[in-house]
Amino acid sequence: MQKKKSSIGWRNENKHPSLSEVFSSVSVPKQKGIWKKLFAFTGPGLLIAVGYMDPGNWATDIAGGSQFGYMLLSVIFISNFFAIILQHLALKLGIVCERDLAQACRDHYTPLISFILWILCEISIAACDLAEIIGSVLALKLLFGIPITWGVLITAIDVLIILFFQSKGFRYIESVVAALIFTILVCFSFEIISSKPEIFPILKGIVPNPEIIKDSHSFYISIGILGATVMPHNLYLHSSIIQTRDYPRTTEGKKMAIKYATIDSTLSLSLAFFINAAILIISAATFHKTGYTEVADIMDAHKLLNPILGSSLSGVFFALALLASGQNSTLTGTLAGQIVMEGFINIKFKPWIRRLITRLIAIVPAMIVSIVYGEKGTTELLIISQIILSIQLSFAIIPLVNFTGDSEKMGPFVNGPILKISAWGITIIILLLNLFLLYNTLLGRR
């Protein structure tokens, strides 16, 4: 009888749990202790937060800070608010419908549409993996002087590291991610203290400024920040990994799961906001303040940090944070790739095969560009990867907002009027801004 209920509103019945090897593997205490339950649900939000602080965000935040000071902090704040809403919808879909977003698309759309959505999603994951490779490669060069080409090859080894932790259990993966996020947090805390930013201009920058829209260049960078912040693969990822929690699959159990998962997600994304804001603040306090208003490159930013701040540790911490960011994003990208392939086409590969395929797709262009064009070429490749992600974003958001607003699918958990209007408003804004970004990029206006 339960199976019939779960198929209401869907073209096909979902027969397989998402990430079956870790489905309901993390226990949730049955007693009413708030902190114990919150701890049990803490983890998925951290994995999601990783996508909001990956190397692709760095270039736009650095450019925004160096050129416009603290003014674009409001854009990061608004982007983070959008992310909190969208991730809430993603976790709610997974909990209520017991489907990840990829499975939901497969069970709702025709096979042709599902196939197209799958291809688009695979391209975006490869693009995201490309950004992670470039971030890790640049960090290896900055820390150890390893040439770009060799760095690309070294990043292939992380397949083995990821597989090792995957075999230990899902809590181990969450612990590794938490440790890497803590590393990034410590590094940027040091950088902020060293850069001595001004508190009042920071607070002023969080308030939206009309000048952002009036100035075409600041508006363009703002769109870039938005496009680099909200990651499409995170929506697939969150709707799946929230199902690793062993909560009661009842109405009350799902209500409880949504409550604690939303707290976890919101707190984790607030941490991501701090780190993204920190990159822009450091850029504003060091480069913009000293007249270096054209810094938009990770390598250039690293070169200037030491002489401006007068500390040799500044560059080291910057590069270490970049390496931690790249490795963290790699781990969550692997999981997202597995979820998307299993969800859309119901084909299971062994994790190492799936990881190898994704990494090879990203390594080949990275290797070619690094050999032919060197550092500058890899930076351009990073920008291209963000454009691809921007294009894919709408193809993930629209189904998500549509499904969670469907009373037949969601029952009593359907989006309320305010949330529904907000979600569609965010969708339209992101769609229009990304189209504008794509149009201007193709015309070479950047």
23-27, 93-97, 350-354, 394-398: segment of lowest average pLDDT: 350-354
Q: Is the pLDDT of residue 125 over 60?
A: yes
The answer to whether the beta carbons of residues 104 and 91 sit under 8 Å apart is: no
Mean pLDDT of 230-254: 91
Beta strand 245-246 pairing with 26-27: parallel
- Report residue 252's pLDDT band, with 50, 70 and 90 as the boundaries: very high
Q: Which two tokens stand for residue 297?
A: 């490159």
Q: What is the CA radius of gyration of the chain?
A: 21
Residue 245 forms beta bridges with which residues? 26
Q: Is the pLDDT of residue 240 over 60?
A: yes
Q: Which two tokens stand for residue 226?
A: 């938005």
Highest mean pLDDT of the ranges 32-41, 121-130, 388-397: 32-41
- Cα 300 to chain center, whole Å? 24
Q: What is the pLDDT of residue 130?
A: 74
Looking at every residue in the chain, the average pLDDT score rounds to 82
- Report residue 2's pLDDT band, with 50, 70 and 90 as the boundaries: very low
Collapse the DSSP code of 245 into the 3-class scheme (helix H, G, I; strand E, B; otherwise coil) and give the result. Answer: strand
Q: Is the pLDDT of residue 363 over 80?
A: no
State phi, psi for 27 to the nearest 5 degrees.
-70, 145
Q: Is the pLDDT of residue 190 over 80?
A: yes
Q: Which residue has the higher pLDDT, 92 or 345?
A: 92
Mean pLDDT of 338-354: 78
- Cα 190 to chain center, whole Å? 24
In 36-66, which positions are buried (b, 16+ CB within 10 angstroms) versus exposed (e)?
Answer: ebeebbbbbbbbbbbbbbbbbbbbbbbbbbb
Q: What is the pLDDT of residue 400?
A: 96
Write out pLDDT tens, residues 99-110. 999 999 999 999
Write out pLDDT tens, residues 165-176. 666 778 888 888
In 237-268, which positions are buried (b, 16+ CB within 10 angstroms) versus exposed (e)?
Answer: bbbbbbbbbbbeeeeeebebbbebbbbbbbeb
Query: How many percent of the chain have pLDDT more than 70?
Result: 84
Residue 26 forms beta bridges with which residues? 245
Write out pLDDT tens, residues 261-289. 999 999 999 999 998 899 899 888 888 88
Query: How many percent of the chain have pLDDT more than 90?
Result: 31
Closest CA to 280 of 58, 61, 69: 61
Run of H or E including 26? strand 26-27
- Which residue ranges form the domains of the chain, and what is each CATH number? 26-442 (1.20.1740.10)
Q: Which residue has the higher pLDDT, 237 or 57?
A: 237
Residue 246 forms beta bridges with which residues? 27
Q: Helix, strand, coil proportions of the chain in percent (round to 5)?
A: 80, 0, 20
The answer to whether the beta carbons of residues 393 and 232 sit under 8 Å apart is: yes
